[in-house]
Each structure stands twice: as C-alpha cells, then as structure tokens.
C-alpha cells in the first residue's frame, strides 16, 4: 500500500497537472479528519506523509504534567522521561500513533482526495481556458433542455444557451449541432458555467469577422448592428482602405459571404449599411431601400424628421415598422417619417399655430403641452377647454377665438381640401411599433 500510494500520487500529479504538494497536503488533511472522527477531536494529532517510506504517519502530542486530569491530552512526567530524558514540565511530547485500520483509512481518503482534486483541477483548467474566450464562437451538440434553456456539449464541458438568448421561433432537437457566441464564463460549484448567445448583435459581428477576411484584418470595420433576431438586421460598415468597397466585401461574390451568415441565422435578412459621419446621410443609408426626399435634424433632441415620396412610405416603414425601427436603433436617434404632403401640412399647421400664439400673446409650447397641434383641433374645443391652455384667460379668450377663426378662413381660401397620407412618428431605439398596413421592403 505504501509504495502504491506514493506511486499514485506521483502519477496523478504528472498526468493531471495537479501540484504534488497540494495533493499531499489535502490527503493529510483528509486523513486527519478521518482519525479525529474516529478518536475524538480532543486529541492533538499531526499527520505527515513520509517521502522515504511512502507511509502516512500519525503522531499524537501530549502535555507533560505532574498530575493527569485528561489522559487524552496529558502525560505524567515520570512516563514522559522514559521517552525523552530531557523533557520538562509543560513540554509537548509526540508519540507515533498506531491507528487501527490506518491503511484502509488512508486508501479511502486517498481515493476520494485524488478524484476530487482531479475534478477541481480539470474545472479550473476549463475555466481558465474559456474565461479568455469571451467573444468567440463555439460549436457543440444539443444535449438536453432544462428550465434555463438548452444545454450544449462542447466536448470537455457544457454551455448554456438561455431562452432569452435564442433566436425566436428557432427549434432544436437533441443531437443537433449549434453555434453560439460566448458572452459570460462564471465559476460555480458544479464547474464553470459558460453562457452563449445566438440573438445578440455581437454574435452577428463575430460571424462577419469569421466569414469576411476584410473584417477580420481590420480593413472593414463593423460600426453598428441592430437586430430583430431571426427576421431582419442592419449592419453598418466602414472601410479603412479607399480601394475596398465595404458593402461588396461583406456581401461577397454573388452573395457568397452574406449567404453563409444568413444560413447560420436561419434566414435572417441582413441589410449592409454604409456608415457616414453625417447623420442625415447615415440615416438615408440606414432607411434603405426607401428613397428619401429630405431630412430635418434636431441635434438637441437627437431626432430626425424624414420626408419621403408617397410611394416610399411603405418601404421606409417596413413590415410592422421593422425598417424604421432598426434604423432608429442603429443611429440611436428618434425618427419621425412623413410623406411630402403630410410634412408640408404639419409645418404649415405649425406656422399657423405660431401666428395664433403671437396674436394671443402666449407661447406655442403652451399649445403643444395642452395637446393642440392644429387650428382645427382648437376650433373644435369649447371655451372651457381652451381655458386649460397656459396663458389663456377670460380676458384674452375672445382675441384667441377671433384670431383662430380668421386664420382658419384664410387657410381654407388658400388651400383646397385634400386627403392626408399617413405618417410614422416617434420610433426610437427599443420601441415595438406595429404597422398593420406596412410591407417589408
């Protein structure tokens, strides 16, 4: 047993990369716990591994006294002198303890310690390996499903694909091969917990880095990604080399590169958008394939009023607002979309309201705060409702009514009645607007 134990320690240390001293220390601690459990915790014992003999040695220490009160921890002076002639009172003297079944205890402890140390060492190696692989794509086999998501076998360890990191409506079966991006590696009691995603924008960026050499070497930069996972995405690109077309590089010959990414994402449609430092140009690119007439910019509010021809409203919006929603996410700006006719009317209404506010000597902001955006809306209100406007009182409501009627009359003479096309307003990053009459561009 002695030689076998030493050989086992040496072999495990070599094969599994476990520090030999750490293994011996843990083994000694395990045997100390076993002996203490058997003989009681009052005994002062020391466990050591003898490198020469390969034996586990257990020593008991007792205090030298003149009168014994506790035989487990004390020894008489006369008995102590038989072991050590130089001993003095209150000295601690050690005796080799012949523990019954020590060989069996050592064997069991060694087995348990070695197994646990092998497991701990392997988990530590796996953690150290994967913690530096955040942002990498990994591939594995679907093993099982639990409450958190899909458990994926990566070979040496497992990864978790949480439900909220899956592509909606994507279906898996046990044994399917699946890829994902490592986004987190955590230490847990049962081993490293590797979290992967298929729905995050970073996964798409990683796919472009893998499929497009110009992205991998930094010639083409991915400036932004906005995704509606499984349905549609917009990817903004910029070339660092004037001789390289970033859009063409990402698409590839006959769409070969983009097709590989689309296939991996189960048919998710991808728009490649050319980045520009000019927000208006960037917005026009992001709203492609719609043609843009003009864009009004409000830098302070970070909002855009985008004007399109009547026949471009549907492609600008996209199916269920998807096109404009993704563009807003990409830019990080609020986007209002108007047709030419509607834009002209809105601005004319605003101009007329400014005239009315001037006549009534109030601020146009007070009209907006009260919920009025046109003369017609105000004309349909009672005097009591108009008095809710800040700055309007019984004294000046007559002047407001007079100016309102005059402006409406003048406007009717100048502009014949016409139907008003639709508009899309207030789409910002993260909104989920639903447009039943929109079609995907």
Question: Average pLDDT in the 395-415 region?
Answer: 69
> What contacts 24+ positions apart, CB below 8 Å, involve 147-156?
150/178, 152/178, 152/180, 152/196, 154/194, 156/122, 156/126
pLDDT tens digits along 105-137: 666 666 676 677 667 777 877 888 888 889 999
- Among the candidates 275, 301, 324, a domain finishes at 275
Tell whether 238 is covered by a domain: yes
pLDDT band at 252 (very low <50, low <70, confident <90, very high): very high
pLDDT tens digits along 315-354: 999 988 999 999 999 999 999 998 887 877 777 767 777 7
Task: Give me 429's structure tokens.
Answer: 């990053």
CATH code, domain carrying 174: 2.40.50.140
Q: Are residues 258 and 285 in the same domain?
A: no
Q: Are residues 408 and 289 in the same domain?
A: yes
Residue 434 clears pLDDT 50, i.e. is over it? no
Question: CA-CA distance, 330 to 21, in Å (whole number)?
Answer: 56
pLDDT score for 414? 57
Tell whether 15 is covered by a domain: yes
- Indicate whether this model's pTM tops 0.75: no
Q: Are residues 303 and 343 in the same domain?
A: yes
Partners of residue 237 on adjacent β-strands: 222, 274
Tell whether 75 is covered by a domain: yes
Tell whether 312 is covered by a domain: yes
Domain count, the chain: 4
Q: Are residues 83 and 106 in the same domain?
A: yes
Question: CA-CA distance, 427 to 424, in Å (whole number)?
Answer: 8
Map tokens 């809710």 to a residue. 388
Question: Average pLDDT in the 179-207 region?
Answer: 90
Q: Are residues 440 and 293 in the same domain?
A: yes
pLDDT band at 22 (very low <50, low <70, confident <90, very high): confident
Question: 92 is in which domain, residue-wise?
Answer: 2-128
* Residues near 17 by beta carbon (within 8 Å), at least 6 away in sequence: 121, 125
Q: Are residues 143 and 222 in the same domain?
A: no
Q: Are residues 116 and 180 in the same domain?
A: no
Tell whether 431 is covered by a domain: yes
CATH code, domain carrying 261: 3.30.300.20
Tell whether 388 is covered by a domain: yes
Choose among 205, 151, 157: nearest CA to 178: 151
- Among the candidates 128, 146, 166, a domain finishes at 128
Provide the percentage of residues in the chain whose pLDDT is more than 90: 37
Q: Are 334 and 386 in contact (CB under 8 A)?
A: no
Question: CA-CA distance, 36 to 75, in Å (whole number)?
Answer: 19
Question: CA-CA distance, 367 to 355, in Å (whole number)?
Answer: 12
Tell whether 337 is covered by a domain: yes
Highest average pLDDT, of 256-260, 402-406, 436-440, comes from: 256-260
- Among the candidates 80, 109, 128, a domain finishes at 128
């Amino acid at each position: 047993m002695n030689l076998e134990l030493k050989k086992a320690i040496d072999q495990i240390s070599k094969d599994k990369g476990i520090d030999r001293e750490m293994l011996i220390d843990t083994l000694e601690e395990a045997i100390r716990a076993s002996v203490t459990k058997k003989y009681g915790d009052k005994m002062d014992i020391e466990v050591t591994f003898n490198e020469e003999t390969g034996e586990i040695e257990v020593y008991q220490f007792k205090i030298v006294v003149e009168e014994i009160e506790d035989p487990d921890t004390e020894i008489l002076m006369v008995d102590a002198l038989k072991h050590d002639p130089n001993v003095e009172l209150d000295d601690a003297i050690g005796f080799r303890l012949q523990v019954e079944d020590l060989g069996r205890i050592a064997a069991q402890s060694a087995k348990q310690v070695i197994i646990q140390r092998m497991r701990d060492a392997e988990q530590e190696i796996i953690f150290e390996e994967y913690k530096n692989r955040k942002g990498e794509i990994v591939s594995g086999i679907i093993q099982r499903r639990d409450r958190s998501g899909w458990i994926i076998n990566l070979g040496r360890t497992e990864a978790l694909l949480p439900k909220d990191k899956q592509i909606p409506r994507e279906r898996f079966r046990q044994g399917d091969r699946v890829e994902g991006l490592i986004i987190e590696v955590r230490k847990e009691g049962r081993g490293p917990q590797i979290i992967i995603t298929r729905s995050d924008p970073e996964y798409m960026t990683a796919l472009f880095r893998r499929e497009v050499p110009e992205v991998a070497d930094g010639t083409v930069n991915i400036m932004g990604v906005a995704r509606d996972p499984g349905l549609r995405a917009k990817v903004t690109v910029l070339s660092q080399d004037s001789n390289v077309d970033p859009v063409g590089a990402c698409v590839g010959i006959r769409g070969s590169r983009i097709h590989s990414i689309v296939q991996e994402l189960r048919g998710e449609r991808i728009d490649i958008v050319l980045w520009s430092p000019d927000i208006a140009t960037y917005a026009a690119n992001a709203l492609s394939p719609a043609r843009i007439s003009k864009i009004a910019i409000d830098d302070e509010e970070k909002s855009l009023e985008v004007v399109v021809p009547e026949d471009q409203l549907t492609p600008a919006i996209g199916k269920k607002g998807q096109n404009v929603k993704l563009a807003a996410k990409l830019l990080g700006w609020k986007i209002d979309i108007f047709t030419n006719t509607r834009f002209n009317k809105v601005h004319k209404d605003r101009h007329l309201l400014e005239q009315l506010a001037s006549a009534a000597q109030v601020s146009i902001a007070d009209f907006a705060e009260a919920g009025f955006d046109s003369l017609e809306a105000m004309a349909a209100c009672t005097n009591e409702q108009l008095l809710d406007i800040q700055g309007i009182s019984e004294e000046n409501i007559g002047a407001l009514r007079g100016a309102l009627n005059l402006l409406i009359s003048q406007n009717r003479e100048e502009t014949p009645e016409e139907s008003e096309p639709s508009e899309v307003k207030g789409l910002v990053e993260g909104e989920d607007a639903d447009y039943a009459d929109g079609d995907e561009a």
